[in-house]
Structure 1
Amino acid sequence: MKLILTEEEQFLKDTAKNFAEERCPISHFRSLRDNNDPILWDKEIWEEMSKLGWPGILIPEEYGGSNFGITGISVILEECAKTLTPSPLFATGVLGAFAITNFGNNEQKQNYLPKIASGELTTALAIDESSHHNPANTIMDAKKDGKQFVVNGKKTFVIDGTSADLLIVLARTSGNKGEMSGLTLFLIDSNDTGIEKIKLDMADSRNYANIKFNNVNVSSQNILGDEETGGEITENILDIGRIAIAAEMLGNAEAAFETTLDYLKQRKQFGVLIGSFQALQHRAAEMFCELELTKSSVMAATKAADEGSNELQRLSSLSKTIAGETLHLVSNEAVQMHGGIGVTDEYDIGFFLKRARVTEQIFGSSKFHTERYANISGF
């Protein structure tokens, strides 16, 4: 496995870098937050992303996509994360596109993929039901009633849950809490009767929602995959999502590090640049080393996904763990090295600390993935 970008992947990375810096500086993110935007992303910016083809990166060409793979979408997410670019690209272009491309039937692919690729349709993955990630603990009930199912329950911390058009929902059709068997994935229109979306005000100002389902009728034709294969399919989707969020976390950490490095080269104390203090140099060197390790682990995971490697699960958990720990370290150090102003709202560096605390928990914390990695490795 070669841990280098292809010419096409490097082009995507460069394009994303220029787009994020020119169209979505951190001031854009700040403006959406300060104006209490209901969906916390800009529809005009999303249209521009769609024209660049980003929502269709994982979608086959026959459905309007470009099929550039997980590495392709990950380098875009990494660059956009450096400016905290708000968009539904992760929830739609990664989770939704991957799920329907790989597990949807022909009718579902024809109905949804062209709309996802064009940016017309946005999606959200509704899996967890508490603050702790564990799909096996699903208790949302889906009772069969003729040719349809009646869904009742609640999903928590759904990314882009308030704005998504289509929900990919994990529900229990048999079995008990704690079992991965007996789970089924459903494609549900977010505007269906009985659905209530509750916006969450999160520390990192990203779009999250709790979603309640009260006697929501879902046709059996809206099952993603086969009935009661939802557990296995969900794990496949989540592994791709974990790699993608690790790429985002890498971008966050890189930006926080570069911002801090610039500050060390400009701020003076006692008449000298604080970057000349050896103690701070050592701490900066540690951050740099951890970032390099994170880059390698994320790229190893994206390449494994693109090549269909049987190491995917292990590398997915590894990349999520390392990226989470690196972002935790870098965001903490960045704020500390800025001193008191690091925690003031006037400075952007605090945004990365807040984003770190939330993304560390998405689809499993470092503790969750350390244990998962150990189990997969047979420890």
Structure 2
Amino acid sequence: MNFDYSDEQQQLADSLQKYLTQNYSFEQRKAILNSATGTSDAVWTTFAEMGLTSIALPEADGGFGGGAVDLMAAMEACGEALVVEPLLDTVGLAGRLLARCGSAAQRAAWMPGLIDGAVKLAFAGLEPGRRYDLAPATTTATPEGPGWVLSGTKCVVVGAPTATRLIVSAAAPQGASLFLVDPAAAGVALNPSRTVDGLRVADITFTGVVVGADALLGAAGGAQAAIDEAHDFATALLCADAVGAMKSACDATLDYIKQRKQFGVAIGSFQVLQHRMVEMVICTEQARSLAIKAASTVDHASDPAERARVVSAAKVKVADAARQVSQEAVQLHGGMGMTEELKVSHTFRRLTMAQQRFGDADHHLERYASLT
């Protein structure tokens, strides 16, 4: 298979990288992290204007009809700049579910806002004590009159504090179902917090939340396959984001060892450190190849088991590479590698979080084995 981006994909990546270089410096990112919302509306609007919010959405809904490989080019640049705006979760996960499960009326109501940046979505899927299990169990949807009543708790919902709408998975009598829920609705309580890498998340409690029949996305009980597919789509994009962060770690470390001197010479001249740098670059390139393979498989595989197998293989390798590259970057920087003032410490946190999101290496290794 071809491991190079097309001309159009490379142009998108180059344009985004140029914008981020000029408008998303490390200091600017820190200011965004410390703001009230932890994200920048101006950056999000620019992302929408560049087409990032629409590139992977269906043409029938106003998108460009691209896939994971198209969005991967952008995600790699976002990972390199440590972007905290919820592009992955709003477009790659929640937007994917809306596109797959939403009725024509629901897509007409929400897709235009998602595309132009006015709407942010967050997927509330994980439940306390159930680790990476995507099948809703403790969050329930009970039919009542023409609508539904939702009860339960979701945890670590990325982007929830700034979301316009939540897409909530719940166990209905018919099976796994998805609902569009207003985060300001009666009975919805958000407990916001931050992840180790600074993303804004929330644990959400639903206490007798009444929603109308029009809140149901797709058929009751028919959501599990879509949830699994969107999760694999998002995992492939997360791998691309991690590859970008690894590239950032490699570049920063190479610059540092060229400048840092011991015994009157740059430590980058020491052969043992050169070997360690080479290993970091090799890990990054191997991870990138598997990330592209995962994205391509998500776009083209007709067999869900094959898609899941390739995505899990990529996630295992990317998680291992992320651990090795991030730890080496910190060690080669010495004690200052963990200081708040240095970008490499934030990259370390980003890659630590990437190892855990959407299933850690042990989870995906087990899933891969079960499908082989």
- With normalisation by structure 2, the TM-score equals 0.95
Counterparts of 2:208 and 2:41, CA distance in 1: 31
Check whether the contact 1:128–1:138 (CA below 8 A) recurs between aligned residues. no
The question of whether the paired residues in 1 share the 8 Å contact of 2:140 and 2:152 is answered with: yes
Q: Does 1:353 align with 2:348?
A: yes
Cα-to-partner distance string for 1:334-359 (whole Å, 9 max, x where unaligned): 00100011111121110011122222
Aligned position for 1:192: 185
For residue 68 of structure 1, give the secondary structure of its aligned residue in structure 2.
coil
Report the equivalent of 2:272: 279
For residues 285 and 343 of structure 1, the distance between their equivalents in structure 2, rounded to whole angstroms, comes to: 22
1:214 aligns with 2:212: no
**2:136, 2:169 within 8 Å by CA — same for their partners in 1?**
no
Q: Secondary structure at the match of 2:81?
A: coil
- Cα offset, 1:306, TM superposition: 2.2
Q: Secondary structure at the match of 1:258?
A: helix
Q: Is the 8 A contact 2:63 2:115 kept in 1?
A: yes
Distance 2:127 2:4 in 1: 38
Distance 1:147 1:282 in 2: 66
1:120-169 residue CA offsets vs partner (Å, 9 max, x unmatched)? 11000111112622123631121111221110111100010101111111
Q: Aligned to 1:292, what secondary structure does the other structure show?
A: helix
Q: C-alpha distance in 2, partners of 1:135/1:304?
A: 21
Alignment of 1:1-379 (within 5 A): 1-33=1-33, 35=34, 37-130=35-128, 132-136=131-135, 138-174=137-173, 182-310=175-303, 311-377=306-372
* Residue type of the alignment partner of 2:112: P
Cα RMSD of the aligned pairs, angstroms, is 1.5
SS in 2 for 1:204: coil
DSSP-derived class of the 1:135 partner: coil
Structure 2: which amino acid aligns with 1:358? M
In 2, distance between residues paired with 1:74 and 1:223?
30
Give the Cα separation in 1 of the matches to 2:5 and 2:312.
22
| Paired positions, count | 369
- Quote the offset at 1:371 in angstroms: 0.7
Unaligned ranges ≥5, structure 1: 175-180
- The DSSP-based 3-state class of the residue aligned with 1:86 is coil
> C-alpha distance in 2, partners of 1:262/1:134?
41
Distance in 2 separating the partners of 1:266 and 1:105: 58
Is the 2:80–2:247 contact (alpha carbons within 8 Å) kept by the matching residues of 1? yes
Identity %: 30
1:69 and 1:293, CA in 2 relative to 1: closer, same or farther beyond 3 A?
same
CA distance in 1, matches of 2:353, 2:94: 21
Mean Cα displacement is larger for which, 1-10 or 69-78?
A: 1-10
CA deviation map 1:42-95 (0-9, x unaligned): 001111111111101112233222222211111101101111122121111211
Deviation at 1:282, TM superposition (A): 1.6
- Check conservation: 2:136, 2:170, Cα contact below 8 A: no
Distance in 1 separating the partners of 2:14 and 2:260: 30
Take 1:198 and 1:318, find their aligned partners in 2: how far apart are those partners? 34
Contact 2:124/2:154 (<8 A) preserved: yes
Q: Secondary structure in 1 aligned to 2:154?
A: strand
Give the Cα–Cα distance (whole angstroms) in 1 for the partners of residues 134 and 57 of structure 2.
26
Secondary structure of residue in 2 paired with 1:172: strand
SS of the residue corresponding to residue 356 of structure 2 reads coil
Distance 2:226 2:243 in 1: 26
Structure 1 residue 225, shift from structure 2 partner: 2.2
Whole-angstrom distance in 2 between the partners of 1:255 and 1:138: 39
- In 1, the alpha carbon distance for the partners of 2:212 and 2:46 equals 34
Q: 1:238 to 1:105 in 2, by over 3 A?
A: same
